Amino acid sequence: MPDDFERLIRNLFAAYLANDRQQVSDALADDFRFTSPFDDDLDKATYFERCWRDTGWIARHDIERIFVRGNEAFVTYHCLARDGRSFRNTEFFTFEGGKVRRIDVYFGAAWQDDRFLPQSR
């Protein structure tokens, strides 16, 4: 089962990068919930309304690690934008019925040359 969840996560990241909204939607449970520092417990429809946008600004996602335990997983990745900006995030996934039931996103700092960039206060 952990291999199935890892594959589901990798496929989800690939679909997001390909701007394939249908494939992303199909991977999410009907009662999917999404939380990030900007979004509190959004349902699936609101997630697509508020958070989905053209992903053409992303050059690539580099998945650094995926830890699966039972029906949960942590994913840390580095995202490189086409304009050279980059950041690193961690997401916590919960699965149910072979689909993603919940994602909680923890935003990371800006990232350059394998180092965090200091944040202005």
Per the structure, the count of domains in the chain is 1
CATH number at residue 49: 3.10.450.50
Residue 24 located in a structural domain: yes
Measured in whole angstroms, the distance separating CA 21 from the mean position of its chain's CA atoms is 13
> Exposure of 80 by Cβ count < 10 A (0-12 exposed, 13-18 middle, 19+ buried)?
middle
Residue 121 located in a structural domain: no
Residue 54 located in a structural domain: yes
d(CA 86, CA 110): 6
Residue 82 located in a structural domain: yes
Between 75 and 109, the more confident residue is 75
Residue 1 pLDDT level (bands cut at 50, 70, 90): low
pLDDT of residue 111: 65
Q: What is the pTM of this model?
A: 0.86
Residue 121 pLDDT level (bands cut at 50, 70, 90): very low
pLDDT of residue 87: 87
Q: Is the pLDDT of residue 108 over 50?
A: yes
Residue 57 located in a structural domain: yes
Tens digits of residue pLDDT in 10-43: 999 999 999 999 999 999 999 999 999 889 999 9
Q: Is the pLDDT of residue 114 over 80?
A: no
d(CA 87, CA 117): 9
- Structural domain containing residue 27: 2-116
